[in-house]
Amino acid sequence: MSTHASQQFVQRLAPWALPILLLAIWQLSVSAGWLSTRILPAPSAVIAAGVNLVSSGEIWTHLAISGWRAGMGFAIGGGIGLALGFITGLSKWGERLLDSSVQMIRNIPHLALIPLVILWFGIDETAKVFLVALGTLFPIYLNTYHGIRNIDPALVEMSRSYGLSGFSLFWHVILPGAMPSILVGVRFALGFMWLTLIVAETISASSGIGYLAMNAREFLQTDVVVLAIVLYAILGKLADLAARGLERVCLRWHPAYQVTKGGAA
Amino acid sequence: MSSLKQQQPAHLLRGIPLAVQQLKKTFGSREVLKNIDLHIPAGQFVAVVGRSGCGKSTLLRLLAGLDKPTAGELLAGSGKLVDAREDTRLMFQEARLLPWKKIIDNVGLGLSGDWRSQALDALEAVGLAERADEWPAALSGGQKQRVALARALIHQPRLLLLDEPLGALDALTRIEMQQLIENLWRKHGFTVLLVTHDVSEAVAIADRVILIEEGRIGLDLLVDLPRPRARGSHRLAALETQVLERVLSLPGTPPEPEPVSPLPTQLRWAN
């Protein structure tokens, strides 16, 4: 092959060089005994723990329950946030009645409510879903409201003069106009979703990835603890990819999201 | 509804005759239009000129139903103009295409049923049929205005209101657009009211030029020249001079913003 192709190959690999080097140093320092496995297990040990949990099938139950909590919380919180955003964005009275109240509640850090939530719901599923819903509600609410308020009034005026009103105005003009902002809210909300779930599962759970980590800590299984952290990272990345995919589909018209040849962002 | 390309029976094509009676419009304490009386026969191409802030855009917005007159009547033939809303279409200064709709979907905005072939015909009429499936962001300013024209034409308007739609275009694109609008007008026979600040454009394209000065009609001039008109002919130049002399004879009013707010809420005029 030509030198040009091999050059390209090297360029593709270059970003991976540092992470691979760090992993190698990490592995080496554990094998050489410079780093105690009580502080950090070797990467190979983490992989082994992963293989172990996969083969026993245990990991899937934990993943499923964590995914369910995250999904339910996001659906409930996001749905309420979207609905409230539409109400305050579309109606002057809705804004007057609701916006300042929602903004006040928004200022309470939702994780500060954990003791109260445990008193209300105990430590069962409702508590975790409630916390995730609370964490995802506000980013979606704020961005939906903001998106609707920032639609070009000239476009709304034009659409009205072409006979659009009520639901057709909402569907053809307001919703797509607010979509870029709503999707920014979705991305923020997905970040809050995992963050909230990690905290909630770490504090009180009898299943899920957070439970896996806390349980392993009791038995000094650092490899499983690190594995749980890696799992959270992968799930976060997957959620982010999903949000980006949604942006690509919903914002095809937007010059900033158009996939150009050779430079997919 | 048949396609735009087919020849329509003449009675469907004829424009709306327009009558404006003692029209007044005030924004707060500012009187923008003072007693405008105007009769426009069906199918006439009228250009409205004037200094910025004279009230010409306000007149157009009243005719389009975007604002309500303070006093006076707007009539379409024997009925009220409000009842002919479906037959009236407005083209704005900017194209105002919805960026999230493909070009063909922008043309079909507000239509129901099977409108796609009609939309293609309308795009064909403005020379953009092959761009139907692109996003508006891919078009130039002049092309966007042509799409906006197609969007207006698909409704087969009997009254077409043009609010300086060519103001932002470069000189060559302007002339192309003027010819396009003139040709479509000759083919379909709708009544046209074109607001412009360009006097040479007004005399070159219109049957009649109306000058608005401080909220009143200052000059009402018939341009009785055969079409197609040769650009730069001395008769056009003479008419242009006549209008310009009148515009410039009055001392310029202190620069005030055009009394039209882009916000439907008219917040700017609240105080």
Convert the pLDDT of each residue in A168-190 to its tens digit: 999 999 999 999 999 999 999 99
- Distance between CA B138 and CA A254 in Å, rounded? 10
Query: Which chain B residue shows the shortest CA-CA distance from A162?
Result: B110
Residues B150 and B156: their CA atoms lie apart, in Å, by 10
How far apart, in whole angstroms, are the C-alpha atoms of residue B18 and residue B78?
9
Name residues whose C-beta falls within 8 Å of residue B16's C-beta, 6 or more positions apart in sequence: B42, B76, B77, B81, B84, B87, B88, B158, B159, B190, B191
**C-alpha R_g of chain A:** 23
Residue A130 has pLDDT above 60, yes or no: yes
Burial call A41-70: b when 16+ CB within 10 Å, e when fewer: bbbebbeebbeebeeeeebeebbebbeebb
Select from B134, B207, B140, B209 the least CA-distant residue to B177.
Answer: B140
Say what the pLDDT of residue B256 is.
Answer: 53
DSSP assignment letter at B23: E
User: Which chain A residue is nearest to residue B154, measuring alpha carbons?
Assistant: A162
* CA B95 – CA B163 distance, rounded (Å): 11
pLDDT digits (tens, 9 = 90+) for A229-257: 999 999 999 998 999 999 988 898 888 87
Q: How far lies A238's CA from each of A143, A153, A244, B22, B58, in Å? A: 22, 37, 10, 66, 54
Q: How far is the C-alpha of A65 from the C-alpha of B172, rounded, in Å?
A: 66
Nearest residue in A to B97, CA atom: A155
CB B48 within 8 A of CB B59: yes
Confidence category of residue A263, pLDDT binned at 50, 70, 90: very low
Amino acid in position B92: F
What does the angle CA A249 – CA B113 – CA A164 come to, to the nearest 5 degrees? 70
**Structure tokens belonging to residue A206:** 């009898």
State ipTM.
Answer: 0.79
Q: How many CB atoms lie within 10 A of CB B180?
A: 17
Q: How far is A31 from chain B (nearest CA, A)?
A: 57
Residue pair B132/B119 in contact (Cβ under 8 Å)? The answer is yes
Contacts of B8 (CB under 8 A, 6+ apart): B2, B156, B188
Distance from CA of B38 to the nearest CA of A (A): 23
CA distance A264 to B139: 22
pLDDT value for B225: 86
Chain A residue numbers with beta carbons less than 8 Å from the beta carbon of B99 are: 253-254
Of B100, B101, B264, the CB nearest to A156: B264
The answer, for A124 touching chain B at a CB cutoff of 8 Å, is: no
Instruction: Give the C-alpha distances (Å, rounded to integers) separating B76 from A8, B7, B43, B88.
Output: 70, 24, 12, 10
Residue B262 phi, psi (nearest 5): -70, -15
pLDDT at residue B144, rounded to an integer? 93
Q: What is the pLDDT of residue B255?
A: 53
From first CA to last CA, the distance across chain B in angstroms is 47
Residues 6+ apart with CB under 8 A from A44: A27
Q: For each of chain B's 271 residues, which pLDDT tens digit applies?
A: 444 444 444 444 578 899 999 999 998 888 889 989 999 999 999 999 988 888 888 999 999 988 899 999 898 888 888 888 888 999 998 899 999 999 999 999 988 888 999 999 999 988 899 999 999 999 998 899 999 999 998 988 999 999 988 888 888 888 888 889 998 898 888 999 999 988 988 998 999 999 998 888 988 989 888 887 887 788 888 888 888 888 888 765 555 555 554 444 434 333 3
Cα(A98)–Cα(A105) distance, rounded to whole angstroms? Answer: 11
Strands B208-213 and B216-222 turn out to be: antiparallel
Both structure tokens of B43: 């199918």
Question: Which residues pair with residue B21 across a beta bridge?
Answer: B73
Compare CB distances from B137 to A154, A163, A253 and report the shortest one's residue.
Answer: A253
Neighbours of B118 (CB within 10 A): 22
d(CA A121, CA A106): 21
- Cβ of A259 under 8 Å from any chain B Cβ? no
Give helix then strand counts, H and E, for chain B.
8, 10
- B66 with A154: Cβ contact below 8 A: no
Is B264 in contact with A173 (Cβ distance < 8 A)? no
Neighbouring-strand partners of residue B27: B30
Sign of CA dihedral A67, A68, A69, A70: positive
Q: In chain A, what residues touch B135 (CB-CB under 8 Å)?
A: 252-253, 258
The DSSP 8-state label assigned to residue B229 in this structure reads: P
Q: Is the Cβ–Cβ distance between A235 and A242 less than 8 Å?
A: no
Asked if residues A124 and A132 have their Cβ atoms less than 8 Å apart, the reply is: no
